[in-house]
Every structure is written in C-alpha cells, then in structure tokens.
C-alpha cells in the first residue's frame, strides 16, 4: 500500500454551481454559478439506533435509519444576483441590484422551498474531490450573524439539505471523472 497523500486530505475552498448538465465542461459545468464557497462542512447521514440485547444489556446490533445529507458553508458572492435569488427566495431585482427581504412573500412560513438540481462543488485544487448533490434545498442560516464591518468580507452562511432525486440518490463525492449528473 502506498503512503497516504496529505495534500488530498484538505478540501479547502472552491466554487459552487447548480443546474449543472456536464462535469466534462469547465465550471459552472453548464449550470448557474453561485460563486466562491468556503468554510465547508459536510454532514453525512448518520442516524442510527442501537438494538440492545436484554440478557447482556449491551448492543447486539446497530440499525441505520438514514438521515440528511447536509452541506454547509459560506458563500462569498454578495454581488452575484443569481446566487442571491437561488438562496433567498424573496430576493428581488432592481436597476441597482438585488434586494433581500426577510422573510418575504415568496417563502411564507410553512411553504415548501424549491430545490436546486445538480448542485456541484468544484474545489480550487483539482486533486481534491468534487461533490455533487442531485437535489438540494438552500436554507440561509437565519440564526447566523452577518458581520457588516470594515475590512471583512460579507459571507452568506448557507446550508444545502439533500432530498432524493427521481433515482433515490442524494449525493456523491470523489474524482470528477468518476461522478455523474444523470
């Protein structure tokens, strides 16, 4: 076995796009660019239940219950109108740019949110793995603070929750050449 490559262990930042049609093409892969995406956290489905054997008072088996695939991070694209409209359903365009409304009429409480198809994370370093979420709902982290301060970029904290596509898939991560959008 070869020694592990420490350069592949650090995912770092990259670019995010949705509606992608082909990973063979360059970013945004035939879709809409959402811009730079960093401070990434990927939560894989990990819900489980221990089946306790009464005679031993210890787990006899572990049952996997599924769970949500969640991609969280910070979008660094305040000036990107398409990114704002994709993540904030109540954003509106004017001659001066995009205005975000909280909560807005496009996403009243209790209304289902529209999913983005083929969300692709493209790492800056091509040796790092790509990530595809086939159907993702964008949820701005409404409890997060947005630092409106000097000498600091305004990053939009956002969470993408995967829902199953028509084939029942949630997401894949690996070398770009091994991933598929269909």
Q: Which residue did the predictor score with more confidence, 127 or 108? A: 127
**Taking residues 41-53, what's their average pLDDT?**
88
Is there a contact between 99 and 91 (Cβ–Cβ < 8 Å)?
yes
- Residue 48 pLDDT exceeds 60: yes
**Taking residues 105-127, what's their average pLDDT?**
85
Contacts (Cβ under 8 Å, ≥6 apart) of 106: 89, 90
Taking all residues of the chain, what is their mean pLDDT, rounded to a whole number?
84
**Taking residues 45-70, what's their average pLDDT?**
89
- Residue 93 pLDDT exceeds 60: yes
Question: What pLDDT score does 178 carry?
Answer: 93
Contacts (Cβ under 8 Å, ≥6 apart) of 47: 64, 65, 66, 67
Q: How far is CA 33 from CA 9, 26, 78, 105, 165, in A?
A: 25, 11, 13, 25, 21
- Residue 8 pLDDT exceeds 60: no
Question: What pLDDT score does 22 carry?
Answer: 95
**Taking residues 92-109, what's their average pLDDT?**
75
Is there a contact between 49 and 35 (Cβ–Cβ < 8 Å)?
no
CA–CA–CA angle 65, 68, 73 (5° rounding): 150
Among 1-15, 17-31, 40-54, 62-76, where is mean pLDDT lowest?
Answer: 1-15
Distance CA 102, CA 104 (A): 5
Among 8-17, 32-41, 130-139, where is mean pLDDT lowest?
Answer: 8-17
Distance CA 40, CA 6 (A): 18
User: Could you tell me which of 160, 162, 132 has the C-alpha nearest to residue 20?
Assistant: 132
């Amino acid at each position: 076995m070869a020694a592990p490559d420490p350069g592949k262990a650090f995912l770092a930042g990259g670019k995010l796009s949705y509606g992608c049609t082909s990973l063979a093409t360059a970013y945004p892969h035939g879709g809409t660019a959402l811009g730079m995406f960093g401070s990434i956290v990927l939560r894989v489905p990990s819900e489980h239940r221990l089946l306790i054997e009464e005679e031993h008072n210890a787990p006899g088996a572990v049952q996997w219950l599924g769970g949500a695939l969640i991609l969280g991070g910070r979008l660094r694209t305040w000036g990107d109108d398409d990114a704002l409209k994709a993540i904030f359903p109540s954003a509106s365009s004017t001659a001066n740019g995009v205005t975000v409304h909280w909560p807005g009429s496009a996403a009243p409480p209790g209304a289902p949110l529209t999913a983005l198809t083929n969300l692709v994370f493209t790492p800056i370093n091509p040796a790092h793995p790509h990530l595809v979420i086939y159907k993702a709902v964008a949820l701005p982290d409404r409890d997060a603070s947005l630092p409106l301060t000097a000498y600091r970029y305004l990053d939009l904290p956002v969470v993408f929750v995967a829902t199953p596509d028509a084939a029942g898939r949630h997401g894949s991560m690996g070398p770009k050449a091994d991933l598929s959008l269909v």
